[in-house]
Structure 1
Amino acid sequence: MSKYSILFGAIGLSLSMLVVLVALEFPSYDEQKLMDLGSLDFDDEEMVDIPVTQQQPPPPPKVTAPVIVEVPDEEEIEDEIEIEIPEEFDEETVIEEAPEVEEVEEEEVVEEIFEIVEDPAGFPGGMGKFYKWVGKNMKYPSQAKRMGVEGKVYVQFVVDKDGTLTDIKVVRGIGAGCDEAAINVLKKAPKWKPGKQRGRPVKQRMVLPISFKLG
């Protein structure tokens, strides 16, 4: 009995497993109802194609050529311009011109220096006295002494209206310090008697020789 029980138990287990396998292989589906969605209508107008946007370069500036406008020639004015003449004014009225103002130019008074005059200038007491004064007041230059220089220095000067000797210069010299010595002695000279022209004192230019001689 134990053998048959084990056998029947095994068969029952096998059958139960077979039933489970069959149930899993062929599931039962309930009848399902499908919803009919129908056909969807699309309106072509509602579908708008959106173009791809591209950034366009700015257009070139427009250059407007200048317009030359012809200006018509000025029209001649044919109308005569009328000038109203006051009643008080007639043809016999004389218009007096303003007197011209003469410009008075100030002339620079340049005193003339005479070379020759009616009454020549001179040293008081005569020229001999003048040369004696020169001999006493002039020192013989040491350089001229060492070199043995002798001769005459011609000095030019102007005797002014008051007798003063001005513009003293050497016109021909001998050098070795003699020229400078002649100028210096004349600068220290006393006033001369001025020259006169038509009775009035004038400036006179003179040239005198001054001798240098070793004694």
Structure 2
Amino acid sequence: MEAKKTPQADLTKKSTMFLNLGLLVSVGLVLLAFEWKSYDDRNLMDLGQVADDFEELLDIPITEQPPPPPPPIEQPIIQEVPDEVEIEEKIEVDFDLDVKEETVIREVVIADAPVVEKADEIFDVVENAPEFPGGMEAWNEYLRKNLKYPTQARRMGIEGTVYVVFVVNTDGSIQDVEILRGIGGGCDEEALRVVSNAPKWTPGKQRGRPVRVRMRLPIRFKLG
């Protein structure tokens, strides 16, 4: 049979209060242990009553060391140098010159260096230009007789001016015939043929000497 307890004898109701009370006491003891101060009065002395003997200390003089002796001075060695030997040079000057008053000094004339012309040099502009035998009228007459209008250019209706460039040699012969500007249709080839087969020209001259000259001439093709 289970024993019954009276409410007054039940201690579990006050367990919370006892726990808080125990914690409070524990915290108080810890704080008291940290704040507790203790002093040791056994070894304390009054420094004012201690007899001092500082005045009785002996004065120790400063040790003085003598300065080091100066280094010995080396005297320079003086050597006797013999007197310089004077050398006399005899210079013989001959003033006996035979000067004639009739001596004539010729004036030196500096002439311009001659202009050397290269034999293979080709000129574009000369003092005397090359010329077709009989002049330009004879040249135009030669073109009218020998120039043939190309069939292709006639069929295509091509007309215009072909510019030909060539070199006239010192003997009047023609070489290096080229088209400077053409019009096509066979006209360029016909112009080259006619100029290449032309008779010799009168060569151009520079300072009176025949030179090679480059010529540029127009050849006109016109229908009708």
TM-score normalised to structure 1 length:
0.49
Larger radius of gyration: 1
